[in-house]
């Protein structure tokens, strides 16, 4: 396998196979005290095991059944942390590390009660992707290295811990819980959440965890979970992780979702009240195959995780809600991709528009852009369109089963797909096209062109609207969230106050409970000084933590008259509710 430049591990010398993790979660000191016991395999000549760590304090390390051993830390690297080198012997089967995390561990988000919906209890959740697992567990933090794990976790009695593993469904009186993950996973899929959450089953193998006040809404929103799993299985094979549950995190969760195996972590902003934003769940579910089962070998190959996942997500949505619906999503994503390509060009970052990335010395988070996701999706779709869906589907299904529980890099992928098409269909995939998509900037000329009849109708409606004609506004009653988004995105930038009021009456935007619609509308209300929405804006900024929605609103405020003062005033009230990555963003933006 290729060398992973974001990990210090030397797996060809000694590698981890299984983790036994015994931990106590301490909210008062914002630390975890733990023993990580690694079962390892080593080359007979190897005398060291190298693990990734970041900010961990090691108490002591022993081998097998408590034999003392030496260890040393390398000089810290600001991005990668500190390599931990442990002396081992030829008979070493286990390495036991007694340690504690730092209160600033980057993967651990400690929330105060006021940052939760219930306001009564603190909350903790982790985000290990891409290279942060090392800040809470000493590990070989490379996506190409897999291991199984079990854990015993002690938490305060009124809280429930959950992991990317077999999970409890209710609290017990001891505060100690046992977890098992029997399928091997890479370190970036290690996950833990601890909070006052309850469980509600949706089906035999699917369910929802949320804070009690949000549980009912969440389980209504996710009624289709089981159908999504069935739909996904009918496309690309049996679901490989037994249970599929979703936890809805508190509002300060700054991301959309995270595909932790068996337990997707999700933002509460997908609780739109009309099940219209659940493609995010289809996405995280699709990761159960692309990413979690067949994993990018390094972060330079991130498009293999995300491009396949977006492709699979679109196919699940098509299966459940029809081609029309899925095409609508595809058109909207192509628009986003084109905007991103223009931005990258303007910022002189065209090199980052290749699917294969070069992230050496950079934070892998810089690869989290529309390129990996949407360009990756259209690349795979271009192969589907050229050779037909039946052939492509057979390929995808075999790709997942042939490479299950292992790592894939871009070069290996090219060899695999060419060989597959040659041996199964006697078809020769042209290097030229593959290379153009993968190693060249921008979008190749054979990029698929999705067409949505529904969005075309919205465009026709917009034309009338903009020309001053009175279109039939009753059509809006039939529109889905995505049609409304398309409408809002394509309105003129400047709209007079009278027209703003007409618009608001048409779409009831100011009172919308849908975070996607609310964000686009509020940007318009700031730009056009529509003050009827002022209190909605303030309330939304205070109660939302997902950066995707906050960034455009604060940016637009900064552009408007007196907007800076207003932004600073609202931010002062909102800041205690935000997650530290969001605080970092807005401290910088509003300084
Ligand atoms: Zn994803």
**524 Cβ contact partners less than 8 Å away, ≥ 6 residues apart:** 488, 491, 495, 500, 530
Q: Same topology for domains 294-439 and 492-589, yes or no?
A: no
User: 513 C-alpha to center of ligand 1: Å?
Assistant: 25
The token pair that represents 211 in the structure block: 């804070």
Q: Give distance in angstroms: CA of 246 to centre of ligand 1.
A: 15
User: Tens place of pLDDT for every residue, the chain, 591 residues?
Assistant: 789 999 999 999 999 999 999 999 999 999 999 999 999 999 989 999 999 999 999 999 999 999 999 999 999 999 999 999 999 999 999 999 999 999 999 999 999 998 899 999 999 999 999 999 999 999 999 999 999 999 999 999 999 999 999 999 999 999 999 999 999 999 999 999 999 999 999 999 999 999 999 999 999 999 999 999 999 999 999 999 999 999 999 988 888 999 999 999 999 999 999 899 989 999 999 999 999 999 999 999 999 999 999 999 999 999 999 999 999 999 999 999 999 999 999 999 999 999 999 999 999 988 999 999 999 999 999 999 999 999 999 999 999 999 999 999 999 999 999 999 999 999 999 888 999 999 999 999 999 999 999 999 999 999 999 898 877 888 899 999 999 999 999 999 999 999 999 999 999 999 999 999 999 999 999 999 999 999 999 999 999 999 889 999 999 999 998 899 999 999 999 998 887 778 888 998 998
Distance between CA 128 and CA 106 in Å, rounded?
9
CA–CA separation, 132 and 540 (whole Å) = 30
Q: Which long-range contacts (CB under 8 A, 24 or more apart) does 212-221 make?
A: 212/118, 213/117, 213/118, 214/117, 214/248, 214/268, 214/271, 217/271, 217/273, 218/246, 218/248, 218/268, 218/271, 221/270, 221/271, 221/272, 221/273, 221/275, 221/278
CA of 258 to the centre of ligand 1 (A): 7
| Cα 340 to ligand 1 centroid, rounded to whole Å | 17
Report the chain's C-alpha Rg in angstroms. 25
Residue with tokens 């994503």: 333
Neighbours of 60 (CB within 10 A): 11
Residues 370, 302 contacting (CB under 8 angstroms): no
Look up the CATH number of domain 294-439.
1.10.390.10
Q: What are the helix (H) ranges across 163-268?
A: 212-221, 225-236
Residues tagged active-site: 284, 373
Which sign does the torsion angle of CA 62, 63, 68, 71 carry?
A: negative
313 CA to centre of ligand 1 in angstroms: 9
Query: How many CB atoms lie under 10 A from the CB of residue 263?
Result: 26
Q: Classify residue 226 as exposed, middle or buried by CB count within 10 Å of its CB (0-12, 13-18, 19+).
A: middle
What is the architecture, at CATH level 2, of domain 1-187? Sandwich (2.60)
352 C-beta neighbours (distance < 10 Å), count: 19
- Identify which of 332, 342, 318 has the alpha carbon closest to the alpha carbon of residue 459: 332
Interval between CA 519 and ligand 1 midpoint (Å): 22
Q: Burial of 167 by CB count in 10 Å (0-12 exposed, 13-18 middle, 19+ buried)?
A: buried
Task: Kindly list the domain boundaries of the chain, sorted by start residue.
Answer: 1-187, 294-439, 492-589
DSSP symbol at 249:
P
Question: Ligand 1 is a single-atom ion; what residues have CB below 5 A from it?
Answer: 306, 309
Task: Give the bridge partners for 21, in sequence order.
Answer: 36, 151
Q: Which strand (E) or helix (H) includes residue 176?
A: strand 176-186
Torsion of CA 208, 214, 219, 222, to 10 degrees: -90
- Residue 6, SS3 per DSSP: coil
Ligand 1 centroid to 52 CA: how many Å? 24
The arrangement of strands across the sheet holding 48-53 comes to 48-53, 82-87, 71-73
CB atoms within 10 A of CB 548: 15
Q: Is residue 86 within 8 Å of residue 69, measured between CB atoms?
A: yes
Measured in Å, residue 508 CA sits from the centre of ligand 1 at: 32
The pair of three-digit structure tokens given for residue 557, joined into one six-digit string: 């405020």
Check: CB of residue 506 under 8 Å from CB of residue 471. no
pTM here? Answer: 0.94
CATH ID of 492-589, from 3.40.190.10, 3.40.50.300, 3.60.21.10, 1.25.40.320 = 1.25.40.320
């Amino acid at each position: 396998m290729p060398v992973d430049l974001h990990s210090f591990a030397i797996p060809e010398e000694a590698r981890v196979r299984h983790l036994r993790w015994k931990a106590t979660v301490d909210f008062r000191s914002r630390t975890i005290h733990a023993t990580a016991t690694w079962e390892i395999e080593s080359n007979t000549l190897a005398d060291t095991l190298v693990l990734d760590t970041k900010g961990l304090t090691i108490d002591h390390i022993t081998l097998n059944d408590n034999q003392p051993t030496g260890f040393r830390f390398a000089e810290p690297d600001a991005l990668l942390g500190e390599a931990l080198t442990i002396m081992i012997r030829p008979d070493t089967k286990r390495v036991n590390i007694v340690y504690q995390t730092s209160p600033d561990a980057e993967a651990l988000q400690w929330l105060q009660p006021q940052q939760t919906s219930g306001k009564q209890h603190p909350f903790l959740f982790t985000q290990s992707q891409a290279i942060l697992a090392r800040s809470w567990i000493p590990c070989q933090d490379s996506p190409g290295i897999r291991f199984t794990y079990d854990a015993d976790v002690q938490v305060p009695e009124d809280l429930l811990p959950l992991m990317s593993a077999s999970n409890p469904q209710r609290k017990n009186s001891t505060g100690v819980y046992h977890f098992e993950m029997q399928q091997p996973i890479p370190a970036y899929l290690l996950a833990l959440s601890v909070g006052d959450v309850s469980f509600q089953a949706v089906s035999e193998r699917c369910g929802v965890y949320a804070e009690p006040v949000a549980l009912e809404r969440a389980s209504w929103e996710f009624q289709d979970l089981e159908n999504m799993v069935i739909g996904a299985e009918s496309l690309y094979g049996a679901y490989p992780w037994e249970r599929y549950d979703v936890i809805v995190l508190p509002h300060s969760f700054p991301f959309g979702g995270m595909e932790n195996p068996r337990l997707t972590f999700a933002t509460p902003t997908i609780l739109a009240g009309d099940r219209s934003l659940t493609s995010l769940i289809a996405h995280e579910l699709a990761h159960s195959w692309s990413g979690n089962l067949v994993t990018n070998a390094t972060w330079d190959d991130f498009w293999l995780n995300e491009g396949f996942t977006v492709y699979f997500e679109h196919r699940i949505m098509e299966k459940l809600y029809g081609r029309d619906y899925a095409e609508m999503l595809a058109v909207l994503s192509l628009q986003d991709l084109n905007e991103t390509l223009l931005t990258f060009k303007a910022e002189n970052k065209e090199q980052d528009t290749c699917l294969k990335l070069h992230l050496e010395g950079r934070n892998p988070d810089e690869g989290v852009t529309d390129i990996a996701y949407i360009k990756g999706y259209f690349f795979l779709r271009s192969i589907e369109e050229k050779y037909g869906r039946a052939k492509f589907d057979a390929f995808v299904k075999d790709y997942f089963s042939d490479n299950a529980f292992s790592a894939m890099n871009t070069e290996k992928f090219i060899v695999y797909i060419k060989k597959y098409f040659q041996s199964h269909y006697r078809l020769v995939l042209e290097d030229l096209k593959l290379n153009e998509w993968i190693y060249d900037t921008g979008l190749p000329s054979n990029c698929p062109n999705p067409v949505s009849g529904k969005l075309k109708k919205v465009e026709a409606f917009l034309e009338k609207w903009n020309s001053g004609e009175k279109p039939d506004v009753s059509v809006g009653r039939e529109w889905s969230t995505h049609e409304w988004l398309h409408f809002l995105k394509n309105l003129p930038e400047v709209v007079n106050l009278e027209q703003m009021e007409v618009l608001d009456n048409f779409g009831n935007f100011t009172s919308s409970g849908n975070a996607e619609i609310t964000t686009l509308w509020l940007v318009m209300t700031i730009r056009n000084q529509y003050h009827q929405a002022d209190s909605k804006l303030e309330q939304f900024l205070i109660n939302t933590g997902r950066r995707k929605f906050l960034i455009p609103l604060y940016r637009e405020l900064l552009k408007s008259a007196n907007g800076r003062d207003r932004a600073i005033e609202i931010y002062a009230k909102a800041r205690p509710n935000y997650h530290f990555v969001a605080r970092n963003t807005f401290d910088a933006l509003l300084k």
